[in-house]
Amino acid sequence: MAHTTEYTRGTSGQIVDIIAFMVFGVSLAVLLYRAIDGLINLGLTTGILIPLVSVPLSLLAADLLSGIVHYLADNYGDENTPLVGKRFCKPFREHHTNPKGITERGFIEANANTCIITLPLVILVTLLGPYEGLWSTFLAVFVAFVSVAVIMTNEFHKWAHLENPPAIAKILQRWGIILTPDNHDVHHVAPYDTYYCVTTGWLNALFDRLGILKVEVPGDHRDAEILHAATAREARELILKKMKEQSQTQGSEPL
Ligand SMILES: [Zn+2]
Ligand SMILES: [Zn+2]
């Protein structure tokens, strides 16, 4: 789909986003060069095993990180919160009032925030190289993969909202490698209290069952007030207030 909207972060934000991607590209290239060098030195078997083990682990780590960031941005602060309000809280909140808006963002605009989040780690690990030995090479490969998975998170999230995603997205969704529309749909049902992981969605069902990254919202979730709440915490406060008012009314009724 063509990019149909104005760049929502303005010209200065656009410049920051482009610089972040350029620095990331250079850092990742150096990191990959050093990681591949380390893998070659470890020999054929270990050199193949490390990337094979790193891919699922990095997707799992990115899914966990996406859940934590999404949970915090949905439920804490607002667009006026210093440093993170405009960049992180605002887009997550707007996504709940206009879920399809994400599909109109170009690649850089949709994924610049995750690029900025992962940049310090990639630069640090790149500077720690060159790599020798099993664990340091594993660290380099893992960080390279996890940074790509984190940066692709909002793209996977965007694909889960597209009526007709790219062919590669359909294949990866069918194989359960990236977030599927069915998995993510659970998060877009009021009161938006669960299923915050948006890279692969692998952790969502487990976390929901265990109550991890979940806001407990009591009462009837079809309540009209909950349907108009922007976040799970707001829905929870509305319901608790209503329950308190009801109990006070019942308590003050004459016998
Ligand atoms: Zn959300
Ligand atoms: Zn969504």
Runs of H (alpha helix) within the chain: 10-42, 44-75, 90-97, 107-128, 134-161, 167-174, 181-185, 204-210, 224-227, 232-252
Quote the CA–CA distance of 64 and 70 in Å, as a whole number: 10
Q: Are 163 and 75 contacting, i.e. CB atoms less than 8 angstroms apart?
A: no
Find how far residue 98's CA is from the centre of its chain: 17
Specify the pLDDT at position 251: 67
pLDDT in tens, 182-237: 999 999 988 888 999 999 999 999 999 999 999 887 777 666 666 667 777 777 77
How many whole angstroms from 62 Cα to the centroid of ligand 1?
Answer: 16
Quote the CA–CA distance of 36 and 44 in Å, as a whole number: 12
Counting ligands in written order, which one lies closest to the CA of residue 67?
A: 1
Counting ligands in written order, which one lies closest to the CA of residue 73?
A: 1
Quote the CA–CA distance of 27 and 144 in Å, as a whole number: 10
Q: Looking at the whole model, is its pTM more than 0.75?
A: yes
Domains of the chain by residue range:
10-207, 216-255
Counting ligands in written order, which one lies closest to the CA of residue 91?
A: 1
In the predicted structure, residue 1 carries a pLDDT above the cut 60: no
Counting ligands in written order, which one lies closest to the CA of residue 69?
A: 1
How many whole angstroms from 242 Cα to the centroid of ligand 2?
Answer: 28
pLDDT in tens, 52-102: 999 999 999 999 999 999 999 898 888 888 888 888 888 888 898 889 999
Angle CA 194–226–219, to nearest 5:
75
Q: Are 39 and 47 contacting, i.e. CB atoms less than 8 angstroms apart?
A: yes
Spell out which residues have Cβ within 5 A of ligand 1, the ion: 74
